[in-house]
């Protein structure tokens, strides 16, 4: 079956056509139009601007996803507004699309609305079923694109707005093990980057600056690491970095500007060391808590998801930690426990950050969950069934989003 | 105006709890202070004082979070806003903040309130958080 996914929860407008067969996926197109440059001067996503930009981009992006889909072009990655490859190809016909899936939250309300309204309109005009997808779930489903998922698995979802550890017992069967009690991991990166005046978005910039730094140069706290639960807290870490900077570099931190109006700067090597040490503090907590959960629930796989999972340093360190764990070296709280076979899975970089391919995959599972009869890949004139299982109104599912923008 | 000095995060939390006890609904509270000044902690204290058990997570990403309140008289909602990325009342309206501000059954906690001051009522609480003499100390000014 072919699914058209649509995503507009934050600052990327994305559409993707995914071919799903027996739980295996082929991404035919994944077009992402990023607005990062637009929001950079504000140090964060401005909802008004985002909504306007989504509105401008959504139809061209959908159009292009359909065109690239037929050419088997996957949209050309991050900035990927078509690179002309296979442009002469016929585009996917709408009869070939079996269903639509759209992110309904969590996210920025004005931004979400553009994607949701577009998807509803297309579904209505095309008379295709539409599935509502939770953005965080979709991030987890990004792992299904290239890997075979085995259960139980533990998923670490880390992004600008979220830090959650979930136990996954099957597609769509989750248990929240823990979450951040204050700031999300990605938000902490953004705020620390702001204090260090290295720009926005913080994650990739801190990672880059940290490459030449020594992660043991400075000691920052590892919040909640010693607590026997799976919760996180990053607000305090952010504050302690701030105090450290105020103590160590008063001329830089003072009022933001030097006496004669010039901005004082931290020495580049020290800056790298601070970034590396800060990053290490965040990763230590994320990795150790995830491994603890993996052991406690005897999972077979650890899945990384969300924008922060795009951080290569984190992937590397997590891989090392999982290897150690496999070899039976369980670190300081191991009581000679048996080696456990755990596999670490993470999506390709382009499926870590916001994208619609993951939304389409999540839509497929949502369709399965709702017991929709799976239409075969439309061949020629075969018009897929419009009725979907648990729904009264022909494929329409009523979307309810609560005040936290979670689906209720 | 009242000035409180707190010596630890715990005391800041407790101050929030006490402030919550004086609330009757309809309060709009502007929380001011630099990064790390303790706005989140005070907000959490107020939430605890209103009997909210859910974690009070940062509203920075979604801009506004709403928590249902039970058993505190007229107060039915606590709304926590980070207006840093908003510009003016019109943008506050788009994300729905204006629906809650000043409502008799709602307490609003607003960080960076000056960015949306044209949609806020005149008599709001001003709470300023500043660093104290040591790293754990805070000076909290409350103007009702």
pLDDT (0 to 100) of residue A328? 67
pLDDT (0 to 100) of residue A71? 60
Contact (CB<8Å) A110/B66: no
pLDDT (0 to 100) of residue A161? 84
As a whole-number percent, the residues of chain B with pLDDT over 90 amount to 60
Report the C-alpha gap between A169 and A149 in whole angstroms.
11
Identify which of B57, B60, B85 has the shortest CB distance to residue A42.
B85
More confident residue, A251 or B137: B137
A318-354 pLDDT, tens per residue?
A: 999 999 887 765 555 544 455 678 999 999 999 999 9
Report whether pLDDT(A378) > 70.
no
Report whether pLDDT(B113) > 70.
yes
Query: What would the mean pLDDT of A39-59 be, rounded to a whole number?
Result: 85
Residue A107 contacts B, CB cutoff 8 Å: yes
Radius of gyration, CA atoms only, chain A: 22
How close does chain B come to A110, measured CA to CA in Å?
7
Residue B17 DSSP code? H
Report whether pLDDT(A199) > 90.
no
Q: ipTM surpassing 0.90, yes or no?
A: no
pLDDT (0 to 100) of residue B109? 96
Sheet containing A343-345, strands listed edge to edge, beginning at the edge strand earlier in sequence: A173-179, A163-170, A153-158, A301-305, A343-345
User: Hey, which residues 38-67 in chain B have their CB within 8 Å of chain A?
Assistant: 40-41, 44, 55-58, 60-67
pLDDT (0 to 100) of residue A376? 35
* C-alpha A321, offset from chain centre: 22
pLDDT (0 to 100) of residue A89? 54
Residue A44 contacts B, CB cutoff 8 Å: yes
Please state which of the ranges A22-36, A183-197, A272-286, B53-67 shows the lowest mean pLDDT: B53-67
Sheet containing B28-32, strands listed edge to edge, beginning at the edge strand earlier in sequence: B2-6, B138-143, B125-131, B28-32, B106-111, B75-82, B64-72
Report whether pLDDT(A303) > 90.
yes
Report whether pLDDT(A258) > 50.
no
Query: What would the mean pLDDT of A130-136 be, rounded to a whole number?
Result: 92
pLDDT (0 to 100) of residue A383? 29
For the CA atoms of A145, A8, A83, A94, the dihedral, rounded to the nearest 10 degrees, stands at 80
pLDDT (0 to 100) of residue A263? 63
pLDDT (0 to 100) of residue B89? 76
Q: What are phi and psi of A318, to 5 degrees?
A: -65, -40
pLDDT (0 to 100) of residue A262? 54
Residue A110 contacts B, CB cutoff 8 Å: yes
Report whether pLDDT(A257) > 70.
no
Region of residue A218 (phi > 0: left; psi between -120 and 50: alpha; otherwise: beta) = beta
Band (pLDDT 50/70/90 cuts) for residue A372 is: low
Query: What would the mean pLDDT of A123-147 be, rounded to a whole number?
Result: 92
The nearest alpha carbon in chain B to A231 belongs to B55
Q: What is the mean pLDDT of chain A?
A: 82
The residue count of chain A comes to 408
pLDDT (0 to 100) of residue A39? 83
B63-111 pLDDT, tens per residue?
A: 888 899 999 999 999 999 998 888 777 777 777 788 899 899 999 999 9
CB B95 within 8 A of CB A108: yes
Top residue of A113, A403, A407, A408 to mutate, by most chain B CBs within 10 Å, is: A403
Residue (of B80, B71, B73, B74) closest to B46 by Cα position: B80
More confident residue, A171 or A381: A171
Report whether pLDDT(B34) > 70.
yes
Q: Which residues of A touch B66 (CB under 8 A)?
A: 403-404
Report the C-alpha gap between B117 and B41 in whole angstroms.
23
Report whether pLDDT(A282) > 90.
yes
Q: Which residues of A touch B67 (CB under 8 A)?
A: 403
Residue A221 contacts B, CB cutoff 8 Å: no
Residue A243 contacts B, CB cutoff 8 Å: yes
pLDDT (0 to 100) of residue A160? 86
How close does chain A come to B6, measured CA to CA in Å?
17
pLDDT (0 to 100) of residue A403? 47
More confident residue, B57 or A357: A357
Alpha helices in A196-267 (DSSP H): 202-210, 235-248, 250-253
Please state which of the ranges A160-174, A309-323, A384-398, B14-28 shows the lowest mean pLDDT: A384-398
Q: Which residues of A touch B92 (CB under 8 A)?
A: none
Q: What is the mean pLDDT of chain B?
A: 90
CB B94 within 8 A of CB A51: yes
Residue B87 contacts A, CB cutoff 8 Å: yes
Please state which of the ranges A35-39, A181-185, A216-220 shows the lowest mean pLDDT: A35-39
**E strand or H helix that includes residue A305:** strand A301-305
Report whether pLDDT(B134) > 90.
no
> Which is it for the CA torsion A72, A75, A81, A82, positive or negative?
negative
Q: Which residues of B touch A108 (CB under 8 A)?
A: 62-63, 95
């Amino acid at each position: 079956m072919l699914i058209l996914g649509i995503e507009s929860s934050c600052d990327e407008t994305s559409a993707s056509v995914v071919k799903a067969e027996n739980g295996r996926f082929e991404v035919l197109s994944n077009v992402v139009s990023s607005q990062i440059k637009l929001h950079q001067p504000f140090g964060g996503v401005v909802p008004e601007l985002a909504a306007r930009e989504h509105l401008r981009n959504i139809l061209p992006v959908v159009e292009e996803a359909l065109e690239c889909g037929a050419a088997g072009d996957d949209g050309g990655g991050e900035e990927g507004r078509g690179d002309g490859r296979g442009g002469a190809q016929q585009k996917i016909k709408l009869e070939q699309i079996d269903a639509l899936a759209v992110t309904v939250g969590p996210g920025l309300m004005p931004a979400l609305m553009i994607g949701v309204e577009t998807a509803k309109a297309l579904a209505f005009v095309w008379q295709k079923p539409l599935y509502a997808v939770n953005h965080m779930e979709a991030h987890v489903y990004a792992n299904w694109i290239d890997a075979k998922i085995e259960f139980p698995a533990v998923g670490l979802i880390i992004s600008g707005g979220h830090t959650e550890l979930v136990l996954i017992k099957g597609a769509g069967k989750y248990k929240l093990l823990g979450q951040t009690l204050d700031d999300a991991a990605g938000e902490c990166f953004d705020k620390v980057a702001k204090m260090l005046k290295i720009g926005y978005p913080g994650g990739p910039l801190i990672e880059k600056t940290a490459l030449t730094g020594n992660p043991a140069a400075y000691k920052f706290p590892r919040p909640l690491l010693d607590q026997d639960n799976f919760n996180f807290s990053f607000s305090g870490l952010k504050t302690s970095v701030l105090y450290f900077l105020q103590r160590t570099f008063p001329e830089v931190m003072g009022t933001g500007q030097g006496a004669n109006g010039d901005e004082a700067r931290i020495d580049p090597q020290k800056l790298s060391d601070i970034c590396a040490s800060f990053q290490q503090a965040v990763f230590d907590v994320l990795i150790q808590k995830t491994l603890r959960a993996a052991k406690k629930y005897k999972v077979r796989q650890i899945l990384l998801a969300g924008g922060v999972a795009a951080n290569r340093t984190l992937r590397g360190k997590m891989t090392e930690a999982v290897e150690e764990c496999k070899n039976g070296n369980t670190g300081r709280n191991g009581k000679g426990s048996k080696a456990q076979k755990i596999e670490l899975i993470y999506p390709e970089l382009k499926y870590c950050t916001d994208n619609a391919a993951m939304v389409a995959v999540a839509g497929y599972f949502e369709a399965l969950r709702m017991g929709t009869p799976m239409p075969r890949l439309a061949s020629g004139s075969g018009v897929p069934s419009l009725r979907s299982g648990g729904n009264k109104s022909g494929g329409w599912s009523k979307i309810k989003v609560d005040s936290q923008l979670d689906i209720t | 105006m009242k000035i409180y000095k707190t010596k630890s995060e715990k005391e800041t939390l407790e101050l929030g709890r006490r402030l919550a006890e004086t609330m009757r609904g309809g309060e709009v509270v502007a929380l001011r202070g630099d990064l790390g000044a303790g706005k989140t902690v005070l907000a959490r204290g107020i939430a605890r004082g209103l009997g909210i058990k859910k974690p009070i997570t940062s509203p920075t990403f979604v801009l506004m979070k709403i928590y249902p309140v039970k058993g505190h008289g007229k107060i039915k909602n606590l709304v926590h806003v980070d207006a840093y990325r908003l510009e003016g009342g019109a943008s506050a309206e788009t994300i729905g903040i204006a629906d809650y501000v000043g409502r008799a059954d709602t307490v609003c906690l607003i960080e960076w309130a000056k960015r949306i001051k044209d949609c806020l009522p005149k008599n709001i609480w001003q709470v300023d958080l500043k660093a104290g003499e040591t790293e754990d100390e805070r000076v909290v000014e409350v103007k009702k």
